[in-house]
């Protein structure tokens, strides 16, 4: 299965605002995962949503999945400066992950 590309490429918001980023994919999936990478650091797994789920929450994160549109969105509520990072929904082929450019989120204090 494959997953997709992140949109927008860059997003700049004020602290306290919500941030929404999107992911589109082309073929059927078993699950879709979101990861975060702070500058110069490793990737942190944020959330995994299975193909039979439509929405999932984890703290300030909300992920939706629309399999009919082959898209997912990641919402970060009440953003903080520490949320500044790149966010990815990597393609999955077997167990290998293929990362795109991601969405670079900047949260301004």
Task: Answer yes or no whether residue 96 interacts with another protein by CB under 8 A.
Answer: yes
Of these, 1, 60, 100, 106, which contacts another protein (CB under 8 A)?
100
**Least distance in angstroms from the C-beta of 9 to another protein:** 13
Candidate ranges 1-9, 17-25, 32-40, 72-80; the one touching another protein (CB under 8 A): 32-40
Write the burial class of residue 100 (CB in 10 Å: 0-12 exposed, 13-18 middle, 19+ buried). middle
**Least distance in angstroms from the C-beta of 60 to another protein:** 18
Calpha distance 6→4 (Å, rounded): 7
Sheet containing 103-108, strands listed edge to edge, beginning at the edge strand earlier in sequence:
10-14, 103-108, 85-88, 31-37, 43-50
Pick the closer one to another protein by CB: 55 or 101.
Answer: 101
Of these, 31, 67, 71, 73, which contacts another protein (CB under 8 A)?
31
Of these, 30, 78, 80, 108, which contacts another protein (CB under 8 A)?
30
* Cis geometry, peptide bond prior to residue 8 (ω within 30 degrees of 0): yes
Q: Sign of torsion, CA 5 42 104 80? A: positive
Inter-residue contact 43 to 23 (CB < 8 Å): no
Chain positions contacting another protein, by CB under 8 A: 30-31, 33, 37, 40-45, 48, 50, 88, 94-101
């Amino acid at each position: 299965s494959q997953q997709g590309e992140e949109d927008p490429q860059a997003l700049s918001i004020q602290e306290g605002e919500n941030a929404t980023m999107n992911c589109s994919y082309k073929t059927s999936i078993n699950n879709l995962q979101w990861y975060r990478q702070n500058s110069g650091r490793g990737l942190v797994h944020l959330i995994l949503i299975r193909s039979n789920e439509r929405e999932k929450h984890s703290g300030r994160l909300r992920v939706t999945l629309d399999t009919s549109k082959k898209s997912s969105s990641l919402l970060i509520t009440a953003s903080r400066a520490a949320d500044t990072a790149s966010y990815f929904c990597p393609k999955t082929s077997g167990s290998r992950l293929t990362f795109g450019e991601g969405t670079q989120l900047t949260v301004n204090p």
